[in-house]
C-alpha cells in the first residue's frame, strides 16, 4: 500500500493523459473476483479501465490452470502480446493467477516470453504496486516464484464490473485434493473469512443497490472450519438473510461430501436464496468417485438430492462432470448417463479429463483415447439437451420472478430466474436491473420467452 503514491507519482510524469489498464480473466468466478480487486488497485493508482489491448498501458492476464486447454489458450494469448509490446515498449505486461502458482510455468514464461514484465500469483495481489515501482525504478523484470501465504486481507479496494450482480469470496484455497485437480496446489490451504467481514460486505452491497450476490469458495460447505467462532455455511447464509431487501443469493461450489440437510432447510426457509443448487458430482460410478478421492457415494449424493427435492419447491440442480478419468471404463461412464437421467440437472458443465502435472491422477494409467472420450462427452451433451428442453417446456404458462440483466438495442430484455434459466421478453417500460414477474409463453433455443406481468 505504501507504494501506491510512489507509483502514482511515476505515472503522472510518464503519461500526459490518464493511463489505461486492461485486466483479462481466464479462470473461474473466484479469479474474476480477484480481477476486480486488481482493478481496484489499478484505479487507486490512477488508471482508467479499458477492454482494448491496443489502448492499454498495462495489460494483466489473470490465468487459470484447471485444464491443459486453458493453459494452452493463455500461452497463445500471451504470445500475441509480443508484437504489441514491440510497438509500444512502455506498455507493462503482467501475468498473475493460478497458472503462475506452478514453478514450471513461471520458468517457461521467463524463458519463452521475455517481454512479460511482471509475474505474481494469487496470494499477494496487493504486491502489484511494489512490483510496478521496482520495474519502473530498477528497470528489471519482476517475476515472482509461487508464494505461499495464508493471511486474508480485508477492505482491499475493489472495482466491481456488474451493477446489479456482485460476488463475494467467503473463503480461499481448498484442502480436498480430488486426485485430478490442481486447485489445492495453486490456491493453497483452505481458509475462511470472518462472518462479520462477509456480513458487512454483503450488507453494503445490498444497500448500494446490488441484487444478485454470489458467495464464492471452492467448497463453501466447509466454510468456517478454521475459524475460532463456531459457524458453518448454513449459519452464514441464515445471517446474511437477515439483511432486508429484495435480492437473490447464489453460492458455489458445494461439495457433496460436506453438504448438510441443515443447509437445505435454510434454503427452504429463506426465499432470498437461489433455488438452484450447484452440486458437482464429477462421475456416476462409486469406484471412479473413490479414485477421484471425492469421498461420497452415488447413494449419498442421491440422498441429498432427494431430500432437497422433497423440501424445496421448484429446486433445481446443476453439476460438473468429468468424462474419461484415468481407468474409467465405458460401463462406468454409463453410470454417469444413468445419474444424469435420474437427477435431471438443469445445467451441466462437462469436461474431458485433463492430466495436471503434480496431481495423483497424473500418475494413473489412462488407456482410453481422446477420441473415445469425446464420443462419451457428445453422448452426454445430447442426453442433457433433451432434459433441458423438457425443463424449459415445463415452464409454459407459469409465472416466474426474474432479475433483468440486459437491455438490447431492439428494446427486448434478458432476465435470469433464480434457477439460472434465461428469459427473454419485450416491453416499453424501464426494467433494467429490476426484479419482474413474467408469464412464460414458450422457448427459443435454450432460453424461455415471456411477457411482462408486473414489476
Q: Does 170 bind ligand F3S (CB under 6 A)?
A: no
Q: How far is the CB of 335 from ligand F3S (least distance, A)?
A: 26
Which of 28/403 has CB closer to ligand SAH? Answer: 28
Element (H, E) at 137: helix 128-138
- State the distance between the two ends of the chain, measured CA to CA, in whole angstroms: 44
Among 255, 356, 416, 424, binds ligand SF4 (CB under 6 A): 255
Measuring CA to CA, how many Å separate 288 from each of 181, 251, 328?
Answer: 14, 26, 6
Q: Does 184 bind ligand SF4 (CB under 6 A)?
A: yes
Looking only at residues 83 through 102 of this chain, which bind ligand F3S when binding is defined by CB under 6 A? Answer: 98
115: nearest Cα among 95, 137, 138: 95
113: nearest Cα among 62, 79, 71: 79
Q: How do 412-417 and 422-426 pair as beta strands?
A: antiparallel
* DSSP letter assigned to residue 273: B
Q: Which residue has the cell 427459443?
A: 444
Measured in degrees and rounded to the nearest 5, phi and psi for residue 283 equal -160, 160
Q: How far is the CB of 30 from ligand F3S (least distance, A)?
A: 5
Binding span for ligand SAH by CB under 6 A among 89-97, 107-115, 179-187, 370-378: 179-187
65: nearest Cα among 143, 168, 181, 167: 181
Number of Cα atoms under 13 Å in the Cβ half of residue 144: 24
Among 37, 39, 85, 187, binds ligand F3S (CB under 6 A): 187
Site string for ligand SAH, 57-86 (x = CB under 6 A): ---------xx-------------------
177 binds, among ligand SAH, ligand SF4, ligand F3S, none (CB under 5 to 8 A by kind): ligand SF4
Q: Does 348 bind ligand SAH (CB under 6 A)?
A: no
Measured in degrees and rounded to the nearest 5, phi and psi for residue 166 equal -150, 160
354 binds, among ligand F3S, ligand SF4, ligand SAH, none (CB under 5 to 8 A by kind): ligand SAH
Residues that bind ligand F3S (CB under 6 A): 27-28, 30-31, 64-66, 98, 182-183, 186-187
Residues that bind ligand SAH (CB under 6 A): 66-67, 180-181, 183, 218-219, 253, 255, 280, 282, 320, 322, 351, 353-354, 356
Amino acid at each position: 500500500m505504501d507504494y501506491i503514491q510512489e507509483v502514482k507519482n511515476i505515472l503522472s510524469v510518464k503519461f500526459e493523459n490518464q493511463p489505461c489498464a486492461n485486466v483479462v480473466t481466464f479462470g473461474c468466478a473466484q479469479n474474476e473476483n480477484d480481477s476486480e480487486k486488481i482493478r481496484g488497485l489499478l484505479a487507486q493508482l490512477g488508471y482508467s479501465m479499458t477492454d482494448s489491448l491496443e489502448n492499454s498501458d498495462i495489460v494483466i492476464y489473470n490465468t487459470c490452470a484447471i485444464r491443459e486447454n486453458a493453459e494452452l489458450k493463455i500461452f497463445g494469448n500471451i504470445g500475441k502480446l509480443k508484437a504489441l509490446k514491440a510497438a509500444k515498449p512502455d506498455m507493462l505486461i503482467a501475468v498473475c493467477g493460478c497458472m503462475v502458482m506452478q514453478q514450471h510455468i513461471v520458468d517457461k514464461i521467463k524463458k519463452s516470453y521475455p517481454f512479460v514484465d511482471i509475474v505474481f500469483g494469487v496470494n499477494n495481489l496487493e504486491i502489484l504496486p511494489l512490483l510496478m515501482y521496482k520495474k519502473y525504478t530498477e528497470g528489471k523484470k519482476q517475476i515472482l516464484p509461487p508464494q505461499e501465504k495464508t493471511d486474508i486481507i480485508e477492505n482491499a479496494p475493489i472495482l466491481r464490473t456488474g451493477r446489479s450482480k456482485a460476488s463475494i469470496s467467503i473463503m480461499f484455497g481448498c484442502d480436498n485434493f480430488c486426485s485430478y485437480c490442481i486447485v489445492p496446489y495453486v490456491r493453497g490451504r483452505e481458509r475462511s473469512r470472518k462472518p462479520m467481514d462477509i456480513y458487512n460486505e454483503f450488507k453494503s452491497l445490498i444497500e448500494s443497490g446490488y441484487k444478485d450476490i454470489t458467495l464464492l469458495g471452492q467448497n463453501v460447505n466447509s466454510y468456517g472450519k478454521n475459524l475460532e467462532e463456531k459457524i458453518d455455511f448454513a449459519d452464514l447464509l441464515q445471517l446474511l438473510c437477515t439483511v432486508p431487501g429484495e435480492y437473490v443469493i447464489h453460492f458455489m461450489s458445494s461439495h457433496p461430501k460436506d453438504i448438510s440437510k441443515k443447509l437445505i432447510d435454510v434454503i427452504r426457509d429463506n426465499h432470498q436464496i437461489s433455488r438452484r443448487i450447484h452440486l458437482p458430482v464429477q462421475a456416476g460410478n462409486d469406484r471412479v468417485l473413490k479414485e477421484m478421492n471425492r469421498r461420497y457415494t452415488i447413494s449419498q449424493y442421491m440422498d441429498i438430492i432427494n431430500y432437497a427435492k422433497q423440501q424445496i419447491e421448484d429446486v433445481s440442480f446443476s453439476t460438473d462432470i468429468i468424462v474419461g478419468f484415468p481407468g474409467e471404463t465405458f460401463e462406468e461412464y454409463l453410470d454417469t448417463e444413468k445419474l444424469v437421467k435420474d437427477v435431471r440437472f438443469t445445467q451441466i458443465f462437462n469436461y474431458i479429463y485433463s492430466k495436471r502435472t503434480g496431481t495423483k491422477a497424473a500418475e494413473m494409467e489412462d488407456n482410453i483415447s481422446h477420441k473415445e472420450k469425446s464420443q462419451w462427452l457428445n453422448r452426454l451433451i445430447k442426453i442433457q439437451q433433451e432434459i433441458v428442453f423438457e425443463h424449459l417446456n415445463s415452464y409454459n404458462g407459469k409465472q416466474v420472478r426474474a432479475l433483468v440483466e440486459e437491455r438490447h438495442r431492439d428494446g427486448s430484455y434478458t432476465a435470469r430466474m433464480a434457477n439460472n434459466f434465461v428469459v427473454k421478453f419485450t416491453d416499453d417500460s424501464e426494467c433494467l436491473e429490476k426484479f419482474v414477474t413474467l408469464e412464460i409463453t414458450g422457448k427459443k433455443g435454450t432460453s424461455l420467452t415471456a411477457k411482462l406481468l408486473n414489476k
